[in-house]
Amino acid sequence: MSTQTPTARRVAAVTDRRIAGPDAQVDNKALVLEPGKPARHDPFLLLAEDWFSTVGFDWHPHRGQETVTLVLEGRAEHRDNRGGHGVLGPGDAQWMTAGRGLFHAEKAYRGEPVHLLQLWINLPAAHKMDEPRYQDLRADAMPVRREAGVEVRVFSGRSGDAVGPAANVVPVTMADATLAPGAAYAQEVPADQNGFAYVIAGSGRFGADRTPAAAGQAVHLAPADTGADGPAYDVLDIEAGDDGLRIVLWTGRPVREPVAHYGPFVMNTRRELEQAVADMQSGAFGEIPTT
């Protein structure tokens, strides 16, 4: 194991979310990571920010990826066609491994407004047909790193001595950090992971060059500036502005495989997509509940 001193991770770019507006499912939608650019965000495929209180996301299938849902405000009710059911409150997350396929639904609980983020993570070919599973990650049960003016809730990966409980297929760090005005901390980032921080509220400066970003912007990390024999981790320096800062940080190890994408199916080839549709239609994903 290398004993070299970790280097400071740099920022490659800062991008604005794109407001897509209302549609048949939501009152408003923003795209933070837009689909269709898998190589740019690998292993991440999509990050959507949604606000809804009526329709939400009725029964729909998934295969070949994971979805991570984080509730920011309100409560979201989820169901699947395997008997799973639960309600997520503010700060709660659900990590769903779709694997070989299932149907699920996400609605506003009792029709009350809900605001959430949903991230899609690619699965390697060897795991696209894994058995589906859910992990409900409750905010009050997550490990928390605390420093002066800093609170980092860790769902997956590590921040300081706090290690998240989420079981991963692709190694992923997920941390929800809140900083008081002017507070700062250094977030470890595995050298083999890429990713981004999404600013939920406030503003701050990020990385070796103290790159500024504010609410509604994504801070994309540059690859680690280390060789094969370098340190296992580098650090992302994060400092809050005068209005404080809340971010969600996601980093992950790239899958580096071809991506074939059709709606909620993410496979490696077009033929596999066609098989996914055929399997869904033949009942291999199970039946959609009628109640």
Higher pLDDT, residue 16 or 84: 16
Q: Is residue 6 part of a domain?
A: no
Residue 291: the pLDDT is: 62
Residue 228: the pLDDT is: 62
Residue 83: the pLDDT is: 82
Q: Is residue 53 part of a domain?
A: yes
Residue-averaged pLDDT of the chain: 94
Percent of the chain with pLDDT over 70: 97
**pLDDT by residue (tens digit) across 154-187?**
999 999 999 999 999 999 999 999 999 999 999 9
Q: Is residue 210 part of a domain?
A: yes
Q: Is residue 2 part of a domain?
A: no
**pLDDT by residue (tens digit) across 116-160?**
999 999 999 999 999 999 999 999 999 999 999 999 999 999 999
CATH number at 108 reads 2.60.120.10
**pLDDT by residue (tens digit) across 221-236?**
999 976 666 789 999 9
Residue span of the structural domain in which 144 resides:
11-282
- pLDDT of residue 34 exceeding 60, the answer is yes
Average pLDDT over residues 61-89: 94
Average pLDDT over residues 70-82: 94
pTM of the prediction? Answer: 0.95
Average pLDDT over residues 194-214: 97
Give the C-alpha distances (Å, rounded to integers) separating 149 from 67, 164, 183, 210.
31, 21, 5, 19
Residue 205: the pLDDT is: 98
**pLDDT by residue (tens digit) across 41-53?**
999 999 999 999 9
Q: Is residue 1 part of a domain?
A: no
Q: Is residue 5 part of a domain?
A: no
Shortest CA distance to 67 belongs to which of 102, 40, 109? Answer: 102
- pLDDT of residue 290 exceeding 90, the answer is no
Q: Is residue 288 part of a domain?
A: no
Average pLDDT over residues 73-102: 94
Q: How many domains is the chain partitioned into structurally?
A: 1
Pairing of strands 18-19, 93-97: unpaired
Q: Is residue 107 part of a domain?
A: yes
